[in-house]
């Protein structure tokens, strides 16, 4: 039995923050940001719009495409590092806002690999007979944990949400062909939000030192991202039986256009076969893959029988891939 994605959805806040806007906040330039990262603009959620609001919109769009109602869903899982609260989980807030049944709903933290980890969990739940339809949501409002005085990170991130309804595939030819996930906790300090948890509870000092915002050793993260995303892609080919030549679409995590370019070259793909959204949305962490996927499905690039490879790398470190033959 195979599982598949029956519907995708995404939602981006309206407000646009351009590179020119950032030039007024930190010592940077549109030219530097575009050439070093590929980003021209990103979306920003306003103060009164928490992650759950973006997520509900993305989820509703995915349900509509799948032709399902909230009450059809058996499990809601949400990958996020920017939940509305530490608890209750954002998944529980979404369960209530969507009007779903009183089903198991939980968040998990896998950084930018959240959607890949989420698809793997959905695949496993369905194959184990524990659910028929699983709603996998990735949502991030990284601009709410951004250090706006750090030009090395504040130019990178944006807000948004993407979702997928996962369910049984109608046939054995289409659906999720392989999932691959991995982690290395020894490198966690390179990409971390230090304060606010049990290791460093909130205090005046943590606020004064800006420790409630994201810290990233960009250069080091870059090197690991390049290596592990390539490894994840190769594992995807190996486990799925799809060859590089048979691949139609690469949907990579959108962290830096240079990482995406490198990966495409290593996989001998032309950039026409890569779904890219980083120029307009920046790095939306776990949401970047489902947002890109949803765009490519809705505009017809990804269609029935397309071989699709999604590859991610993120905080933890975590990394992985999902290989699919598109079935809708
Ligand atoms: N504007 C102008 N100059 C800048 C800026 C900026 N916004 N940011 C850094 N610089 C300067 C630095 O100060 C440095 O100057 P110096 O040489 O005088 O010291 C110079 O530019 C080069 O800095 P680097 O950090 O070496 O720049 P790099 O080319 O590595 O680009 C970047 C930085 C974009 C953060 C890159 O390292 C990167 O993309 N890292 C990986 C991010 C990633 O993969 N994330 C994936 C998982 S994490 C997640 O997605 C949440």
The Cα 129–Cα 166 span in angstroms is: 13
Is 0.95 surpassed by the pTM of this model? yes
> Does one domain contain both 119 and 69?
yes
> Does one domain contain both 264 and 150?
no
Q: Tell me what percent of the residues of the chain surpass a pLDDT of 90.
A: 100
> Does one domain contain both 15 and 76?
yes
Averaged pLDDT, 200-229 = 97
> Does one domain contain both 41 and 136?
yes
E-only strand ranges, the chain: 3-11, 16-18, 41-43, 75-79, 104-108, 134-141, 159-168, 175-183, 191-193, 214-216, 249-252, 307-314, 318-325
Determine contact, residues 240/178, Cβ cutoff 8 Å. Answer: yes
Q: What pLDDT shows up at residue 82?
A: 98
- In tens, the pLDDT along 93-139 reads 999 999 999 999 999 999 999 999 999 999 999 999 999 999 999 99
In this structure, the number of other CB atoms found within 10 A of the CB of residue 246 comes to 11
Q: Which of 134, 168, 202 is the last residue of a domain?
A: 168
- Confidence category of residue 197, pLDDT binned at 50, 70, 90: very high
85: which DSSP letter? S
Q: Which of 117, 140, 168 is the last residue of a domain?
A: 168
> Does one domain contain both 151 and 218?
no
Q: Which residue has the tokens 């509703």?
A: 60
Determine contact, residues 214/153, Cβ cutoff 8 Å. Answer: yes
The residue annotated as part of the active site, out of 174, 253, 256, 307, is: 253
Report the chain's C-alpha Rg in angstroms. Answer: 19
- In tens, the pLDDT along 53-94 reads 999 999 999 999 999 999 999 999 999 999 999 999 999 999
> Does one domain contain both 144 and 12?
yes
| DSSP conformation letters of 41-73 | EEE---TT--HHHHHHHHHHHHHHHHT--GGG-
> Does one domain contain both 159 and 182?
no
| DSSP conformation letters of 84-138 | SSSSS-HHHHHHHHHT--S-EEEEE--GGGHHHHHHHHHHHHHHTTS-S-EEEEE
Q: Which of 144, 168, 192 is the last residue of a domain?
A: 168
> Does one domain contain both 217 and 164?
no
Query: For residue 258, which atom of ligand 1 is closest to its CA?
Result: 39
Tokens encoding 274: 């890569």
In this structure, the number of other CB atoms found within 10 A of the CB of residue 291 comes to 30
> Does one domain contain both 27 and 151?
yes
The preferred substitution site among 33, 34, 81, 152 for testing ligand 1, maximizing ligand atoms within 8 Å of CB, is 152
> Does one domain contain both 72 and 189?
no
- In tens, the pLDDT along 23-33 reads 999 999 999 99
The residue annotated as part of the active site, out of 112, 154, 256, 307, is: 112
Strand 75-79 with 104-108, pairing: parallel
Number of domains in the chain: 2
Q: CA separation (Å) from 31 to 16, 19, 35, 95?
A: 18, 9, 6, 43
Residue 112 is a catalytic residue: yes
> Does one domain contain both 157 and 278?
no
The preferred substitution site among 222, 258, 317 for testing ligand 1, maximizing ligand atoms within 8 Å of CB, is 222
CATH of the domain at 55: 3.40.47.10
Distance of CA 151 from the midpoint of ligand 1 (Å)? 8
Tokens encoding 82: 């920017």
For Cα atoms 150, 155, 160, give the angle at the middle one, nearest 5 degrees.
Answer: 120
Query: For residue 225, which atom of ligand 1 is closest to its CA?
Result: 44
Q: What pLDDT shows up at residue 106?
A: 98
Residue 96 is a catalytic residue: no
Distance of CA 76 from the midpoint of ligand 1 (Å)? 35
Tokens encoding 133: 């339809």
Q: Which residue ranges have their beta carbon within 6 Å of ligand 1?
A: 28, 32-33, 36-37, 112, 151-152, 155, 191, 218-219, 221-222, 225, 255-256, 259, 283, 285, 313-315
Tokens encoding 239: 């486990």
Residue 283 is a catalytic residue: yes
What are φ and ψ of residue 44, in 5° steps?
-135, 125
Structural domain of 106: 3-168
Q: What pLDDT shows up at residue 93?
A: 98
> Does one domain contain both 10 and 67?
yes
């Amino acid at each position: 039995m195979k599982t598949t994605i029956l519907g995708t959805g995404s939602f981006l806040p309206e407000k646009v923050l351009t590179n020119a806007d950032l030039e007024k906040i930190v010592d940077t330039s549109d030219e530097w940001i575009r050439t070093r990262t590929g980003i021209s603009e990103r979306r920003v959620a306003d103060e009164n719009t928490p992650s759950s609001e973006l997520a509900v919109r993305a989820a509703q769009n995915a349900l509509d495409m799948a032709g399902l109602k909230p009450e059809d869903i058996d499990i809601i899982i949400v990958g996020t590092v920017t939940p509305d609260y530490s608890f209750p989980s954002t998944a529980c807030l979404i369960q209530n806002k969507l009007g779903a049944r009183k089903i198991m709903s939980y968040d998990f933290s896998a950084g930018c690999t959240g959607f890949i980890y989420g698809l793997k969990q959905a695949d496993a739940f369905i194959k184990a007979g524990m659910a028929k339809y699983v709603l996998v949501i990735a949502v991030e409002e990284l601009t709410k944990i951004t250090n706006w005085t750090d030009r090395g990170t504040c130019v990178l991130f944006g807000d948004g949400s993407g979702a997928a309804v996962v369910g049984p595939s109608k046939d054995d030819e289409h659906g999720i062909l392989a999932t691959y996930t991995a982690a290395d906790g020894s490198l966690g300090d390179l990409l971390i939000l230090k304060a606010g948890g049990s290791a460093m509870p909130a205090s005046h000092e943590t606020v004064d030192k800006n420790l409630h915002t994201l810290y990233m050793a960009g250069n080091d993260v870059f090197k690991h991202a390049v290596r592990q995303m390539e490894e994840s892609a190769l594992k995807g080919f190996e486990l799925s039986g799809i060859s590089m030549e048979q691949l139609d679409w690469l949907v990579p995590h959108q962290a830096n256009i240079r990482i995406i370019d490198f990966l495409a070259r290593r996989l001998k793909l032309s950039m026409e076969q890569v779904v890219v959204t980083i120029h307009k949305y920046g790095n939306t962490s776990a949401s970047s893959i489902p947002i890109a996927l949803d765009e490519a499905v809705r505009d017809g690039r990804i269609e029935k029988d397309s071989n699709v490879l999604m590859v991610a790398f993120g905080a933890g470190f975590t990394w992985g891939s999902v290989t699919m033959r598109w079935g809708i």
